[in-house]
Chains A and B, each alone.
Chain A
Amino acid sequence: MPIEVNGKTLETDEEGYLVNLDDWEPGVAEVMAKEDDLELTDEHWEIINFLREYYEEYQIAPAVRVLTKAVGKRLGKDKGNSKYLYGLFPYGPGKQACRYAGLPKPTGCV
């Protein structure tokens, strides 16, 4: 199902992930969040940007467990736990945040 972002039509797969990674712009996350009735705060953006940097460096979307640990290491222990991350992304920090960040679904995520 395609999504409309700033006048452009972007292709997504059956689970709502962007088909073409290069299509991403911040507006993508805004539009997807709106569909989920979620308002994006600085805390959300911190995780979304973190995921984009991780992907840039390693070419994969991290598994939730890896994301949690990496966030704890980089952004502080108070953020590197499931409670904090699920609080921000109720559909799952792996799936939902990766989708907003324009990444593929994490490997090993079912």
Chain B
Amino acid sequence: MSDTKKFMFLNRRAPYGTIHAWESLEVVLIAAAFEQEVSLMFVDDGVFELVKGQDTSEIGMKNFSPTYRTLGDYEVRHMYVDKASLEARGLTAEDLVEVEWEDWETEETVDNIVEVVDSDKVVELMEESDVVFSF
């Protein structure tokens, strides 16, 4: 397990208007299957990806917001949200989806791995990562 690298996926784009958000999510699903240590960071318009209650039935596009809720099953351990980006957009933590995580062996659970963090913490988390993938 010493070969495990810390991957961070940095999401800065809104869903639907461009393909970036969906592509990032697909790469996250693949990366987690290779048993790397994966965390997600949502900054700028990326915070809109996690807004609850999305309904794309009238725009003819796939609604991929429910997929974020299964990321805990893909061993994504942390989903961080930049507080300043959230506030600039009139959003709060209550507006975002909740993602449960469970260790299948020990049955240890975390009710919600989505965590709002301040700028200093964002810097620190990016610094700790071996690779940061930008979308």
Q: Chain A interface (Cβ within 8 Å of chain B)? A: 57-60, 62-63, 65-66, 69-70, 72-73, 107-108
Contact = CB atoms under 8 A, between A and B. Distances in A.
Interface in B1-60: 26, 29-30, 32-33
Contacts of B74: 63, 66
Contacts of B66: 57-59
Contact of A65 (B26, B33, B63, B64): B33
A72 B104 contact: yes
A73 B104 contact: yes
Interface in B59-75: 62-64, 66-67, 69-70, 73-74
For chain B, what secondary structure do more than half of its interface residues adopt (helix, strand, loop), or is it mixed?
helix
Given A69-B73, A72-B104, A107-B26, A58 B33 contact: no
Contacts of B104: 69, 72-73
Contacts of B70: 57-58, 60, 62, 66
10 contacts: A57-B69, A58-B69, A58-B70, A62-B73, A63-B33, A66-B74, A72-B104, A73-B104, A107-B26, A107-B30
Interface in B82-135: 104
B90 to A, nearest CB: 27
Nearest to A63: B33
B5 to A, nearest CB: 17
Contacts of B63: 59
B19 to A, nearest CB: 15
A70 B100 CA distance: 13
A63 B29 contact: yes
Contact of B67 (A59, A65, A69, A73): A59
